[in-house]
Chain A
Amino acid sequence: DIQLTQSPSFLSASVGDRVTITCRASQGISSYLAWYQQKPGKAPKLLIYAASTLQSGVPSRFSGSGSGTEFTLTISSLQPEDFATYYCQQLNSYSFTFGPGTKVDIK
C-alpha cells in the first residue's frame, strides 16, 4: 500500500499568516492527491483534488501543488474559520490512504 506522511503534525499560527503543509508519498502517485479540511465532529471537506485543482466553492486562499511524491497545501492568509485538521489522500490506488493529519491551531 502507498503510505503518506504529513509535516508538520501540529502547527500553531495567527490570523493572516501564510501556512504550508507538506505531504509525502512512499511511491510516485503522479497528481493523484487530494486535500481535505476537517473540523471536530464534522465530515471531511474536499479542498483540492488532482494535486492542484480547487474544489468548487473553496476560497482561493487555498492552493495545492506538487506531483510524484511531494505535495504541498498552502493557505495564503489564514482566516479564523481555517483552524482545523488537514489531511492529504492518495487517489492512485484502491486503498485511498490518508496522511495522519496536520492540526492547525490558534497561536
Chain B
Amino acid sequence: EVQLVESGGGLVQPGRSLRLSCTASGFTFGDYAMSWFRQAPGKGLEWVGFIRSKAYGGTTEYAASVKGRFTISRDDSKSIAYLQMNSLKTEDTAVYYCTRGDPIAAAAPFDYWGQGTLVTVSS
C-alpha cells in the first residue's frame, strides 16, 4: 500500500527556518518525482515545488512565491523527500502536503497524497 507521511510542521517565527519531511513506503521511491503542495487555512490549493527522479536528472522546479527561499531535496536510500523552508513569512502558514507524480515528463498524475502537516508562521 502506497503511503506518504509528512512530518516536521509546527509553530515558527517569521524569518526563521523549518524543514519538513515526507517519508514514503509501498512503492519504489527512486522511480518517482515528488512534489509539495500547500493549503492556507480556509483557502485553495497551491503547488510549492517539485523534484524529479534521478532518471529525469533529479532537478527541481519551484513556484514563484517560494523560489529562492524553499529547497526540495530527496534521499532515495531512505525514501524521504524534504522541504527546507527559509525566511518564512506569515503568508507561508498552511497545511503542507507531499505527493508523488510527474504529469509533464512522465505522464504520471499526482495520485497519492500524504495527510499533511501544519506550518504556522507567527510571532
Contact = CB atoms under 8 A, between A and B. Distances in A.
A38 B109 CA distance: 16
Contact of B115 (A36, A38, A43): A43
Contacts of A99: 44
A50 B44 CA distance: 21
A64 B35 CA distance: 24
A98 B45 contact: yes
Contacts of B113: 43-46
B104 interface: yes
B11 interface: no
A99 to B, nearest CB: 8
Given A32-B103, A91-B104, A46 B109 contact: yes
Interface of A: prevailing SS: loop
Contacts, number: 53
Given A43-B97, A44-B113, A49-B103, A96 B44 contact: no
A50 B104 CA distance: 11
B44 A91 contact: no
A45 B97 CA distance: 12
A80 B87 CA distance: 43
Nearest to B4: A43
A95 B103 contact: no
| Smallest CB-CB A-B distances: 4 pairs | A91-B103, A49-B109, A96-B47, A43-B113
Interface of B: 35, 44-47, 50, 61, 63, 97, 103-104, 107, 109-111, 113-116
